[in-house]
């Protein structure tokens, strides 16, 4: 890679939410520009509207291509010229389409190798729906666009807790059917690799949560633990993945058992995210693992209820930028030795069978036979 700062692409998200506010507040800190070069995929007019409405001192350099990005500046890449009405705190189709235009351009630029990591500001999953976007969220959209056929894994990360999900944006009525041994094993393998490669954990320990209350109580409250989850854990262990459980979620989080593990694999969205957000607070980060792209986002939504009031907390967004940079560096450090393995400086020891194969036959010693 050329000698330059890490380029962080940032999509502006729903233009009626708090996206621009948390972006501007994050990069108001001069140290952030020493760490990376931010490139906001958005609209100069919308950005200026938010800046003026919020009374934030935020300067940005308008560019038309990523190649024009300037280090030590907040770069704003104009992804569209259309007039967009900003209606703070209100869900509108216009705001959803503005978010989609930024995402589409960011995906094209990623394919061209023009930036290093992606941080996405929150979207409204309903207003962004269209013929081009028919997904439940960023994770599924990014997997489809740049996943190269790989499966994505949603990970929520804080300083003391990392939670991954077997199922993500799925109605609760469909969760049990989606919990299969194959699904658990697939997500656990991706989680294990992400902990090693993205988080620099040498020997990850993964706790697997149960599906039913009290881990099924031996089949009294459901059989999924006995017929699906335990067999999955056993096969993972046989493969060398340190997976343990299944643990009942209430006691596991209530007693702080997560401290003994490097990651927690939850069966469904709220089982993992409700305790995560309670424990981690405003500083959690959403990470899309398992894909070639490094993508993170803040662990909150559009926050329409406080949009335009200037009181949004930027901590989660700032941590999303930090985490994206950390993962980019960790992957590079992890992959470099594998790409240039050292040549062997020794000869492997052969066993006795090898000695027999390559031994030179000895000449037979003539003996004088006694025929008496």
What sign does the CA torsion over 103, 108, 110, 111 have? positive
Percent of the chain scoring above 70 in pLDDT: 90
Q: Are residues 19 and 143 in the same domain?
A: yes
β partners of residue 62: 76
CA 167/CA 182 separation, integer angstroms: 12
What are the pLDDT digits (tens) for 58-114?
999 999 999 999 999 999 999 998 889 999 999 999 999 999 999 999 999 999 999
pLDDT reading at 190 higher than 90: yes
Domain count, the chain: 2
**Contact at 8 Å (CB) between 271 and 249?**
yes
Which range marks the domain in which residue 188 is found? 151-288
Q: Are residues 201 and 223 in the same domain?
A: yes
In a domain, residue 345? The reply is no
In a domain, residue 354? The reply is no
State the average pLDDT over residues 312-324. 97
pLDDT reading at 367 higher than 60: no
In a domain, residue 371? The reply is no
What sign does the CA torsion over 176, 163, 326, 339 have? negative
Task: Please tell me the least confidently modeled range out of 124-128, 255-259, 318-322.
Answer: 124-128
Q: What is the pLDDT of residue 37?
A: 98
**Contact at 8 Å (CB) between 9 and 39?**
yes
Count Cβ atoms below 10 Å from residue 353 Cβ, excluding itself: 8
What are the pLDDT digits (tens) for 99-144?
999 999 999 999 999 999 999 999 999 999 988 888 888 999 999 9
Q: Are residues 82 and 118 in the same domain?
A: yes
Q: Are residues 42 and 65 in the same domain?
A: yes
Q: Are residues 60 and 199 in the same domain?
A: no
Edge-first strand listing for the sheet containing 75-78? 61-63, 75-78, 36-42, 6-11, 117-120, 295-298, 285-289, 153-157, 162-165, 263-266, 205-209, 242-247
Q: Are residues 8 and 118 in the same domain?
A: yes
Q: What is the pLDDT of residue 342?
A: 58
For the entire predicted model, the pTM comes to: 0.88
CA 197/CA 330 separation, integer angstroms: 6
In a domain, residue 273? The reply is yes
pLDDT band per the 50, 70, 90 thresholds, residue 290: very high
In a domain, residue 346? The reply is no
CA 139/CA 290 separation, integer angstroms: 11
Q: What is the CATH number of the domain that holds 265?
A: 3.40.718.10
Tokens 């500083």, located at residue: 283
Phi, psi of 80, deg, nearest 5? -160, 155
In a domain, residue 199? The reply is yes
Q: Where are the beta strands (DSSP E) in the chain?
A: 6-11, 36-42, 61-63, 75-78, 117-120, 153-157, 162-165, 205-209, 242-247, 263-266, 285-289, 295-298
Q: What is the pLDDT of residue 1?
A: 43
Write down the H helix ranges in 245-314: 249-254, 269-280
């Amino acid at each position: 890679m050329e000698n330059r700062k890490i380029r962080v692409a940032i999509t502006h998200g729903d233009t009626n939410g708090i996206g621009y506010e948390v972006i501007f507040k994050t990069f108001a800190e001069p140290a952030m520009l020493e760490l990376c070069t931010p490139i906001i995929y958005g609209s100069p007019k919308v950005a200026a509207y938010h800046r003026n409405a919020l009374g934030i001192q935020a300067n940005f350099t308008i560019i038309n291509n990523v190649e024009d990005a300037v280090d030590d500046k907040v770069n704003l890449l104009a992804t569209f010229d259309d007039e967009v009405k900003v209606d703070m705190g209100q869900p509108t189709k216009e705001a959803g389409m503005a978010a989609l235009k930024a995402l589409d351009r960011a995906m094209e630029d990623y394919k061209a190798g023009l930036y290093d990591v992606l941080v996405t500001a929150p979207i409204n999953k309903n207003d962004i729906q269209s013929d081009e976007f028919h997904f439940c969220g960023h994770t599924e959209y990014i997997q489809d666009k740049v996943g190269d056929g790989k499966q994505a894994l949603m990970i929520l990360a804080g300083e003391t807790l990392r939670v991954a999900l077997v199922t993500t944006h799925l109605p609760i009525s469909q969760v049990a059917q989606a919990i299969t041994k194959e699904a658990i094993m697939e997500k656990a393998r991706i989680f294990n690799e992400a902990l090693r490669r993205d988080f620099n954990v040498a020997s990850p320990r993964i706790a697997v949560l149960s599906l039913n209350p009290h881990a099924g109580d031996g089949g009294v409250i459901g059989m999924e633990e006995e017929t699906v989850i335990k067999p999955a854990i056993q096969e993972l262990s046989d493969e060398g993945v340190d997976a343990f459980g299944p643990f009942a979620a209430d006691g596991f989080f209530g007693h702080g058992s997560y401290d003994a593990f490097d990651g927690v694999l939850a069966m469904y969205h709220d089982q993992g995210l409700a305790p995560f957000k309670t424990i981690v607070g405003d500083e959690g980060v959403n990470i899309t693992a398992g894909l070639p792209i490094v993508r993170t986002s803040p662990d909150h939504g559009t926050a329409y209820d406080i949009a335009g009031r200037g009181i949004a907390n930027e901590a989660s967004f700032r941590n999303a930028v930090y985490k994206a940079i950390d993962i980019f560096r960790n992957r590079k450090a992890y992959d470099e030795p594998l790409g240039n393995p050292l040549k062997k400086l020794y000869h492997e020891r052969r066993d006795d069978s090898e000695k027999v194969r390559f031994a030179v036959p000895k000449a037979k010693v003539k003996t004088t036979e006694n025929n008496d």
